[in-house]
Structure 1
């Protein structure tokens, strides 16, 4: 039986080759060809929402496919952009929404938004990486978590950012076997504990991230010998930071039916 760490390193060691294999999958190649052939014609949020294949491709690329049904919600995210401090995406703790805006920044660039590399090759690269991680998770959720952590690690600046992401926090909690009393403590205490046991600066060093993930994968196998972990618990997009009433009102808008 191949260990979680071995499976992770087989993918990570030659990431370009792993991604190339994903790109060659018929369904991925088909949707990518469509996306690249059409995205330049998308000139507005309305255009984006109207083409379901473009819409679904971009959302999956950013790990937001589970929110595809919430069209009014996604419309509000894209319409308000990220430049204003009180923009909708900036009120959400899940950074995937602001990442979507930065890829398709209609608020800042209008009709030219899709002409930029971020909206074209950038989204394709994200889609292929997301697919790679999901495919790995279908075999071993620990591998998906390790690949996800490896990708996000250089962007992490604090223990609080780790706690704001269920998947990142699961990796850290597993690796360091966080005591029950810490996990039951308030969020600030949990963040302090993470920063005590994990030097955040080390996340900028690929070699140190690799050593950390070796530790994580070993502990993951001890805790999850049958690997039946539900990915919904870890990777579903979060809308925290917005009240439930506001979420309901947004998703009841007539725009949600578009």
Structure 2
């Protein structure tokens, strides 16, 4: 039996409800038979895995491995995933190091194939770490099946928070944001940017992102999103603008302008 998250309302009000009930809902989801069965299988088998082929050839292991990094849609791309895993991250020319979506780098880094030492699948606590990530990501997927905006909002704390505290340059941080499909959708919506914006030169996009961030949050730097209050404001603006764009919320033009000027 699988637990379905409860989302009685959309928009920012729905997000606040989800925040208040998150711990209880996540716990109930984790205890569902479907999730527990996959976790138990992964914990039983993964310690014996020594190479990428052994993961890719086992559908259930691959499902948990990919799901833990939000890559579950790639489960049919076995050749590609085998290459990402087997090459690891040690070599500069490894595939995971070349891809704009850093989820592949995190996947390859977590499993540790392709290096000089043993893979991380042999390390104590490895199965538990992957299982925890799988539960969280799977819950997000379940939320997204009811309301994809809520799934994108759930993604913010983990992914944006991680980028913001990274040691890379401000330029590098912003490019990581723009290279992430989910984060890009949140920022473009919160900033009120049109779909065609993504076709502009990357340096011009970066300039606009910095200008919009300065106007909305008081700073042009991506590192400011280590602050949970600023991440919450971003989520708020994203959900408000998304609801308005979809025709929800019953906002009049005057109410819309006032809401956005006040930051929601």
**Per the shorter chain, which TM-score range?**
0.7 to 0.9
Match of 1:245 in 2: none
> Is the Cα–Cα contact under 8 Å of residues 177 and 184 in structure 2 kept in the other structure?
yes
Match of 2:18 in 1: 11
Match of 2:217 in 1: none
Asked if 1:79 corresponds to 2:86, the answer is yes
> Is the Cα–Cα contact under 8 Å of residues 97 and 105 in structure 2 kept in the other structure?
yes
TM-superposition CA deviations, 1:67-98 (whole Å, max 9, x none): 22221211111111101111111111111111
Deviation at 1:171, TM superposition (A): 0.6
Task: Give the number of the structure whose alpha-carbon radius of gyration is greater.
Answer: 2
Asked if 1:38 corresponds to 2:6, the answer is no
What is the aligned residue count? Answer: 226
Match of 2:202 in 1: 187
Which one of the candidate residues 79, 90, 94 is aligned to 2:97?
90
Consecutive unaligned residues of structure 1, counting only runs of 5 or more, are 227-258
Which one of the candidate residues 179, 193, 203 is aligned to 2:225?
203
Q: Secondary structure at the match of 2:115?
A: helix
| CA distance 1:180–1:114, shift in 2 (3 Å) | closer
> Is the Cα–Cα contact under 8 Å of residues 61 and 127 in structure 1 kept in the other structure?
yes
| CA distance 1:72–1:180, shift in 2 (3 Å) | closer
Consecutive unaligned residues of structure 2, counting only runs of 5 or more, are 1-7, 165-172, 214-219, 249-264
Structure 1: how far apart are the matches of 2:238 and 2:205? 18
How do residues 87-236 of structure 1 correspond to structure 2 at under 5 angstroms?
87-108=94-115, 111-116=118-123, 119-157=126-164, 158-178=173-193, 182-198=197-213, 199=220, 200-225=222-247
Moved more, 181-190 or 148-157: 181-190
Moved more, 107-116 or 26-35: 107-116
TM-score (norm 1): 0.79
Structure 2: how far apart are the matches of 1:201 and 1:2? 32
Deviation at 1:224, TM superposition (A): 2.1
Deviation at 1:111, TM superposition (A): 4.4
Structure 1: how far apart are the matches of 2:227 and 2:174? 17
TM-superposition CA deviations, 1:224-252 (whole Å, max 9, x none): 247xxxxxxxxxxxxxxxxxxxxxxxxxx
TM-superposition CA deviations, 1:13-34 (whole Å, max 9, x none): 4644333222112100111111
Deviation at 1:61, TM superposition (A): 1.6
Which one of the candidate residues 43, 58, 63 is aligned to 2:65?
58
| CA distance 1:179–1:56, shift in 2 (3 Å) | closer
Question: Which structure exhibits the higher relative contact order, with contacts defined as CA atoms closer than 8 Å and separated by 6 or more residues?
Answer: 1
Structure 1: how far apart are the matches of 2:73 and 2:158? 20
Match of 2:3 in 1: none
When the two chains are superposed, the root-mean-square deviation of aligned CA atoms in Å is: 2.2
Structure 1: how far apart are the matches of 2:200 and 2:125? 40
> Is the Cα–Cα contact under 8 Å of residues 182 and 193 in structure 1 kept in the other structure?
no
| CA distance 1:136–1:174, shift in 2 (3 Å) | same
